[in-house]
Every structure is written in C-alpha cells, then in structure tokens.
Amino acid sequence: MTAPLAEASADTSGPPRDHLGTSNPIRVALLGLGQVGAAVARLAGHTPGRRIEVTGALVRRPAGRNGWPFPLVADPRALLDGRPDVVIEVLGGVEPARSIVLAALERGIPVVTANKSLLARCADELFAAAASSGAPLRYEAAVIPGVPFLCAFAHRPLASRITRLSAILNGTSNFIVSRLSRGSSFEDALGLARERGYAEPDATRDLDGTDAAEKLVILVRQFARVGVRPDRLTRTGIDCLDTQDLHCAAAFGGAIRPVACADWTSAFSAWVGPAFVPEAHPLSRVDGVSNAICLDSPTASAPLVFAGPGAGPEVTAATILDDVLSTGQTKGFVRSTHVITTPPTQHAPARWFVRFRDIGLRFDTRDVSELLSAHDVWIDRWSVEGQPGGDRSRRALTLPCDQRGLDAGLGAVRAATGCNVFAIRALEAPCG
C-alpha cells in the first residue's frame, strides 16, 4: 500500500448500490485469491439468478500469475476506485483487511467477509462504519459456512430467547478427537488430517482452540449481544487428550468432543476446550470434520440443532456468493450492546471428567475421593482401568460441583498423592 486508503478518491457518485432486480451482473472486487478467493472466482459465474463478475483481485504478489480473466493487483485502491457493487474480503488476519473493509464501508460499498479473526476483534468498529454509511456487512461464511443459519435465524424472535449455546466449531480438532476415539494416536490423527487437507501444516490455531474461540465470540455477539475478546475466553487445547480418555468417556456413557460453550442465562460465561458430552446430547454424535451448534433456552422444549459439513474452500465460497446475492435484501447483523472486558466467569456448577495420572503407590481411589469430598466434590463414577503395579492412572466423572471447590480439591489430591491431574467439563444433556 503506497498511501493510506482514506486518501484514495472517495467518489460517492456512480451506479446505485441496489444491484438486485436488474439483469446486470453484480461486480465484485476480491480481496485475496488464496484457497477461498480462488474458489469464489471459479464459482462466481455460476450463481443462481444473477451472474457475479469478479472485477479484480488483491494479492501480495501479482507478478507472473496469469490465467485469471480479471486483473490481479497489490494496491487495494485500484479495486475500490473501480466502484465494485460488493467487496469480498478473504485475506485473513486483521490488517490490512480491517483498513480496506473500513474504507469500502465508508464509501457505501457492501462487504462480505469470511474472516473470523477480523470480526472477532474489530466487529464494533466495522459495524459502526456499516451503520453510518448504510452499507451491509455480511459474514455468514465466517462461522460454520457449510451450515448457513446465522442470517436466516438472527432476526427471528426466537433468537432473542436463546440463553446458551454449545457447539463444535472446528472440524480439524473434531476429526482428530474422533480418530482418537477409534484408537489412533494423536500424532497419527494429526498426520491423517494433514494428508486429507483438513489441517494446515501449522495447525496450532485449530488445536489450541484459538479458531473456535474466534467463532464463539462472533456467535456470542450475535445471540447474546455481548462483546468479548477471544483472548478473554478460557481455552484448553485438545493435545492434552489421549486414547484412554476417549475409551473411558465411552464407558461413562458419552464421548469427548472439542466444544465451544457460552451461557448467559444469568451471569455470562464462555469457554472453549474438550468436554465430556453425554450420549443424550446432540453434539455427542457429531463425528469427523462435521460442525454443529445447539441453541438452547430454559423455556425451550428442545434445543435447536444445526449441523453439517465443516469449512472447505468450495463450501465457504458458495456461502460467500450467497451473501453477495443477498446484500441488497436484508439488513446487516446485530451489534453488541454489552462489552465485556474482564474474563467471563466460570463458576456455574458442572460435572467434570477428571484424569489422575500416576497416583502414588500408597494411594487408591478411596483416598482420592476422600480428599475431594473435603471440598464438596463427589465422584459419580470411577473408571475400571490399570493394574496393581502397572499404570496408576484413573479417570472419574464427578457430580455437579463448583469450579473453585474442584480446583481446591484437585490441588489437595496433587499435593497428597503426587499425581498429575487434568480435568475437562462435562456438558449436561439438554432437557426435552
């Protein structure tokens, strides 16, 4: 970029933005021509009803990249000055995506994005620009693009009654956890995910929960109208799991899944991490790269469940193009009304799946139960595993308990027995 975008000519004359209802193609400028951008360019000429025409694409290095029927540029002003009907942002990351999207919205150009990192961090600023110019900002493809439910559901009265959501938002980690449950090692499962194109060479953001946390922040803004930064959420990665955890979860009548949860029934709480999911919970059956979301409220007879394929360039591109076709039809998405700057609370009583590894030889499960009970933590079930003199690991499912009590109880067990302790939450099966 050679000059700030704000200095680019801000011509607001030109064709009206309401491009639907005419037979002219919708002219779109593509920010990014990577996996998703290229799929958008390939599919653009084949949309139902109206043709979408790509007028140009922003990339880092345009030189020598021939074969596209539109120019590739390294300066975004060249695209915005062409006054496209819609800007599609698929650059990824925060900058320069933020500056270019702001510049487009300020000129009244509708924007469609699939960039969860951008929305999870800059949504208020972007929606303020969209509200001020009247240009819609659409982001259906940023969260579970294979299940485009956000826009369809967002403005329905039922949406305002939702007070909690639980979801599987990252297909890569769900694939790996599903493989672990079939006996695969973590390394083999990750290797297979890479081989099948489900995981990037650097899959850190998938495995440590960052990707899911960004998506959860977008959902929480949408349904709870709460603004919270992704780094404020409690996050646990899936790399702490082993095959035996998954076997014990099955023996306890459920499964472990990489879950993102938020609850604002009373105090707001939100977290991302592996969780024990009982069989009766819809998420327990979501396998492989699939994604799903359960929306629930205390008054609902049953949760609303949306499930489908996880992200992929083609699926994402199809949803982006659907957003482009609908930019003239509906209003943009909601803005958060309540911004949270302190870490969300996490103290609602819950059941926990706990692993005690290498319990000292002098101790057994009765000793551990007794230490925990002093902190009001009661074990519902112990796993049957390990042999005297062999592996000294045990897993347990607690009854619902306060997290502070659990932390104190596990600290006492750790101090007394020298064992290594690891705990993940258990979801409750929804009523109805």
Ligand X SMILES: NC(=O)c1ccc[n+]([C@@H]2O[C@H](COP(=O)([O-])OP(=O)(O)OC[C@H]3O[C@@H](n4cnc5c(N)ncnc54)[C@H](OP(=O)(O)O)[C@@H]3O)[C@@H](O)[C@H]2O)c1
Give CA–CA dist 167/294, Å, rounded: 6
Q: How far is the CB of 292 from ligand X (least distance, A)?
A: 16
Residues 37-57, buried b or exposed e (16+ Cβ, 10 A)?
bbbbbebbeebeebebbbbbb
Supply 132's token pair.
Answer: 């001020």
H helix intervals, 268-352? 313-326
Q: According to CB under 6 A, which one of 17, 26, 32, 206 is a site residue for ligand X?
A: 32
Give 219 or 368: the residue with its C-beta nearer to ligand X.
219
Q: Which stretch binds ligand X (CB under 6 A): 86-94, 103-111, 301-309, 360-368?
A: 86-94
Does residue 37 interact with ligand X by CB under 6 A?
Answer: yes
Which residues within the stretch 142-171 sit at the binding site for ligand X (CB under 6 A)? 145
Give 70 or 268: the residue with its C-beta nearer to ligand X.
70
Among 215, 221, 375, 392, the active-site one is 215
Does residue 110 interact with ligand X by CB under 6 A?
Answer: no
Residues 312-331, buried b or exposed e (16+ Cβ, 10 A)?
bbbbbbbbbbbbbbbbbeee
Answer for the pair 154, 318: CB distance below 8 angstroms, yes or no. no
Q: According to CB under 6 A, which one of 5, 58, 275, 321 is a site residue for ligand X?
A: 58
Closest among 333, 276, 302, 325 to 85, alpha carbons compared: 325
What are the φ and ψ backbone dihedral angles of 296, each rounded to 5 degrees?
-140, 160
Give 5 or 396: the residue with its C-beta nearer to ligand X.
5
Say whether 331 is catalytic.
no
Q: According to CB under 6 A, which one of 26, 29, 36, 241 is a site residue for ligand X?
A: 36
Q: Taking the CB of residue 358, how many other CB atoms lie within 10 A of it?
A: 12
Supply 105's token pair.
Answer: 């919205």
Does residue 316 interact with ligand X by CB under 6 A?
Answer: yes
Give 190 or 359: the residue with its C-beta nearer to ligand X.
190
Does residue 90 interact with ligand X by CB under 6 A?
Answer: yes
Give 303 or 313: the residue with its C-beta nearer to ligand X.
313
Binding site for ligand X (CB under 6 A): 32-37, 58-61, 90-92, 96, 114-116, 141, 145, 311-313, 316
Catalytic residues: 215
